[in-house]
Amino acid sequence: MSQGVVIRGVGAVSALGPNVAALRDALWAGRDGIAPITRFDVAPFEPVHLGGCVSAGESCVEWAVAAALEAWRDAGLEGHAVAPDRIAVVAGTTEGEGSDLPGIARAVAAAIGAEGAQWTVSTACTSSANALGLGKDLLDRGDADVVLAGGAERLLPEMFAGFFRLGVLATDACAPFGATRGTTLGEGAGFVVLERAERRDGPVRAYLHGYGLGSDAWHETTPEPRGGGIERASKGALGDAGLAASAIDYVNAHGTGTPANDDSEWRGIRAALGARAEAIPVSASKSFLAHAQGAAGVLELIATFCCVEQGSLPPTLRVGEGRPNGPPDPIGQGSPRAARVTRWLSNSSAFGGANAVLCLGTEPAPATDAGPRVARVVGLGRVRFEADEPRDEARLARGVGVDLLDTDPSGRLCVAAASRALADASIRIRGGLRERAGIFAGATRVSPTSLAEYRDSIERHGLGRCSAVAFSRLVLHAPAGATSRLLALRGPTTTLAAYGVGGLLAFGYAADTIRRRRDADVMLALGFDERAELEESEGAACAVIAADADAGPCVVGFATAGPDALEAAIDAALTRAGATRDAVASWHRLDGVGPAPSLSSASLALEAAVAVREGARYAVAAAADDSVSCAVVLAPNPGRMKTHG
């Protein structure tokens, strides 16, 4: 019987130093990494001038590789026999290096010789936390034997400018839950090595019991005031772990230091944990690390490790007496507090209303197996404009039922496709279903329109007066966040970055979530591309996947593999479906990246679903790019579906 997923090794590059040892030493000394920024001119942002910057190098790819290699060595894997095609990488980032979002995962894979799937999560400040959860899924499903999961982010002046214009940066070093209001931006990289516990003997840094995702469905940048997204993500993590709220000993909060975040997060923690929340410590590591954005979740998790393994908990610097209506015990003493911790939660929140919560522990959790559900495709929707065909805004808005003016073209494409898919499914998102309906998206790049608007605002007015609205939409997850907000989808949410397979990955991940988890009953899977030039095609394709529905094609196999292993991914998906190639009546595949790649790969899943609707016994959708190969098998009936083993 599986003993769950464990963290074998950790690696970090942060404002506290070039490795985990430096981070640990700073925590125990009560010393933060926040200082005046010298790498770029902060004069346009006066009086704000502080950041948590990395002192060595300026490339987040370089930091990611250093952190990954440290984690690899810490896990004792140097010289240890692991088949390269069974090593996967999952990286989280907001910007990547030069906007090459999947480049971090590729670089880490090359550094350790990994030839398995290389996934990229881009949900702004929840990216690396979501990456760890996705890494757990890859192990649970059997797509890998070892996963390096984490994230990396570099603080850019354009990013600093956007936060400055939003009015959320503090003039002094941030003090989560304390008197100083506002956050301090940072940077860095962190990675952990994940394995199934029974794979080999060796030291265990922690058990990754589970994770949860939840959408605020509220605003582009401001968290939902009641903390609903954090509440749902926390309950999802506990459900994934098979634990009750009473089992939690500590919460490492997202804790940015802004009133909107800190107040709503504490409300969400209380809603999720009930009376238990008032009895346990809640601290925030951004007071040491600053806000490392896409790398924040994993770095704050590692900071917790550094204390828990020494029988202590990380404090919150500068919290003073705390804020009214804040956590009663934010560990404000300035140095780690002696405490025995068995299980804890680690929170992350982000623009677009994305929330991710990890549940970890120092010992195995009770084994749980609720049994798989049937994942049926119950609705399909697509909007597409061919090359040289102008975008028809009236056509996009037709039948949507919500105002599309308050988002960019990427958002409008997504909302239009999602609305059509829900109409095809005859599903209305209302009442309690709002809490149990989510959206997973796959995309290639941020909105070219919003990017051009942001750059134009800087050129016209300077960094200090850039467009806050355009900046808020320069997150790959922003269109999915807008869809979540406009259609009231408050369940699990994420966005995957891929050059050729993003839409199909989102479809497979959403179906796997419906099948194996219990925190959503309906998932929308979406792939979208917004054109940069009229000579390009654009659009969005969406599938509605429901648990245990009465009718509709079933997703009976899903697998991912390395970038040059599409046939292996197909074979694995067919094996899990209990089918052979000879039984497949309808094939839908892309070999290489074509026009509108996320739309095209999502369309493969829709075409396979239509083939099954029309009588095909089995249909396969498969695609690959230079990071990952993906295959999905659909059939009229659920059949049997295997995971690893």
**For residue range 495-553, what is the model confidence (pLDDT) as tens digits?**
999 999 999 999 999 999 999 999 999 999 999 999 999 999 999 999 999 999 999 99
Q: Confidence band (pLDDT; 50, 70, 90) for 639?
A: confident
Domain shared by 189 and 309, yes or no: yes
Condensed to tens digits (0 to 9), the pLDDT of residues 174-184 reads 999 998 899 99
pLDDT of residue 254: 97
461: CATH: 3.40.47.10
d(CA 608, CA 605) in angstroms, rounded, equals 5
The label of the residue with tokens 């090794």 reads 9
In the listed set 329, 361, 393, which residue is the last one of a domain according to the structure?
A: 361
Over residues 21-37, mean pLDDT: 96
645 within some domain:
no
Catalytic residues: 125, 254, 291
The string over 625-637, giving b where at least 16 C-beta atoms fall within 10 Å of a residue's C-beta and e elsewhere, is bebbbbbbbbbbe
Do residues 421 and 543 make contact, with C-beta atoms less than 8 angstroms apart?
yes
pLDDT for position 641: 56
Domain range for 562 is: 375-635
230 and 344 co-located in one domain? yes
The pLDDT of residue 645 is above 70: no
Same domain, yes or no: 172 and 252: yes
1 pLDDT higher than 50: no
Q: Which region among 395-399, 454-458, 570-574, 618-622 has the lowest average model confidence (pLDDT)?
A: 395-399
Q: Which of 361, 387, 420 is where one domain is finished? A: 361
Beta-carbon-side half-sphere exposure of residue 445 (alpha carbons within 13 Å):
15
Q: 643: pLDDT confidence band, cut at 50, 70 and 90?
A: low
The domain boundary residue, chosen from 304, 330, 361 = 361
| Pair 20, 91 in one domain | yes
Predicted local confidence at residue 309, as pLDDT: 92
353 and 461 share a domain?
Answer: no
**The pLDDT of residue 199:** 85
- Residues 434 and 508 occupy one common structural domain: yes
Identify whether residues 353 and 428 lie together within a single domain: no
Whether residue 243 lies inside any domain: the answer is yes
Alpha helices in 216-351 (DSSP H): 228-241, 259-273, 286-289, 296-308
Are 435 and 232 a contacting pair, CB within 8 Å? Answer: yes
61-86 pLDDT tens trace:
999 999 999 999 999 997 777 999 99
Beta carbons of 373 and 436 less than 8 angstroms apart: no
Give 39's pLDDT tier (boundaries 50, 70, 90).
very high
Same domain, 147 and 202: yes
Arithmetic mean of pLDDT, 352-376: 90
Q: How many helices (H) and strands (E) does the chain have?
A: 17, 23
| Rounded Cα distance, 283 and 279, in Å | 13
**What pTM value is reported for the model?**
0.96
